Amino acid sequence: MKKLLPFIVPPIRTFNYIGCELGITSTIEESIPWYHMNYIQLCCPKKNLNLEDHKLVFSSLVNPFLSRTYLTKSFVEDITEDPIQFIIVSLNHGYYVSTYINEYFLPNRWAYYSESFFHDILVIGYDDDEKILNVVAYNREGQFVTEKVSYDNFRDGFIFCSTKDNASQSTLGLIIPRKEDFHFNILFILNQMEDFLNGKNDAQFKYFNIPINEQDAYGKDVYEYILSYIKANTTFWDKRVFRLLLEHKAALLERIKFLTKMGYLNNIDDLIINSEKLVKTATIVFNSTLKFNITNAFGTYEKDKLSVLIKQIEQQEEDILKNLILKIKQIV
């Protein structure tokens, strides 16, 4: 017997947990308007700059098209001696399974038989004949992929992954798509873009009562902290910062196309051209950090190049957003 639940590798996937959720809802056509209402706002901490684990993230809403139930691993182990059987039953009932696993036991991971490394993973299927689970995660090459993991390897990784210091690593999540009476709101998009230009996050509080964290920088203000990170870094370029920036700019381009299709924009040739240039600049930044990591380059030349490109991104984006806001207001 086997089962494989629907999953599409999404355009936003810098962080595994976002990629996994979007990979599920990308199969739900009704979720597309919600997607374009989100992933507009960026945020990062103003203090405690962490060079090894920089926290540039999207400030977005909880995905309303997914229902989640969380169980402790000990609860699962009390129900059955074999967690694989619990996962199979869950999949048969249409539940995706999200949990943490020790990648020491997973082939095609940098930690395989090297060191313990706990990371989240999504299970989307199984094949009892092959004795494998279909999982989604980042592999050794840093690619977000679906792949097969043997029952034995997954079982060991599941069992030997829990710490008292991190409760989430001791949990198992059951995720299932649900129908949602969702209402698209162009004004929320408009207000978020205005917030971005003003370094604020008022719209999410106004529309959804999401509290504003005064310890975080929002919108265009994050660039100041990215530049600080570039200036201070001496050991390793955290590619997630620059991949997320690239995904953010690509999402802007797709949002413009979507809003045009929905009738909220017209005469967009200039917006498309400039947004494509913005994506190209962000791609150069991302590829440069990959190159600099390979060559172990953290000198003045590399920092100056990245800083100039980040400032260019900031200016390109500001020009696009101002034009985009103006064009939307002409219609709504």
pLDDT tens for each residue of 210-254: 778 888 999 999 999 999 989 988 888 899 999 999 999 999 999
Q: What pLDDT score was predicted for residue 46?
A: 87
pLDDT tens for each residue of 166-187: 777 888 999 999 988 888 999 9
| SS3 call for 268 | coil
d(CA 209, CA 228): 31
Other CB atoms closer than 10 Å to residue 74's CB: what's the count?
11
Q: Which helix H or strand E contains 238, and what residues bound it? A: none
Q: What pLDDT score was predicted for residue 235?
A: 84
Q: What pLDDT score was predicted for residue 210?
A: 78
> 151-159 and 83-92 helices cross at what angle (nearest 10)?
110
5 CB-contact burial (10 Å; exposed 0-12 / middle 13-18 / buried 19+): buried
| Model confidence, pTM | 0.93
Model confidence at 163, in pLDDT bands (50, 70, 90)?
Answer: low
Span 2-37+66-177 CATH architecture: Alpha-Beta Complex (3.90)
Q: What pLDDT score was predicted for residue 166?
A: 73
Longest Cα–Cα distance of the chain, Å, equals 63
Which residue has 């969702």 as its token pair? Answer: 182
pLDDT tens for each residue of 121-155: 999 999 999 999 999 999 999 899 999 999 999 99
- Residue from 149, 98, 143 nearest 121 by CA: 98
d(CA 50, CA 55): 8
Query: What DSSP character marks residue 107?
Result: T
pLDDT tens for each residue of 266-315: 999 999 999 999 999 999 999 999 999 999 998 999 999 999 999 999 99
Model confidence at 54, in pLDDT bands (50, 70, 90)?
Answer: low
Which residue has 């003003």 as its token pair? Answer: 198
d(CA 30, CA 16): 23
Q: Which residues pair with 44 in a beta bridge?
A: 217
Q: What pLDDT score was predicted for residue 180?
A: 80
Whether the Cβ atoms of residue 73 and residue 158 lie closer than 8 Å to each other: yes
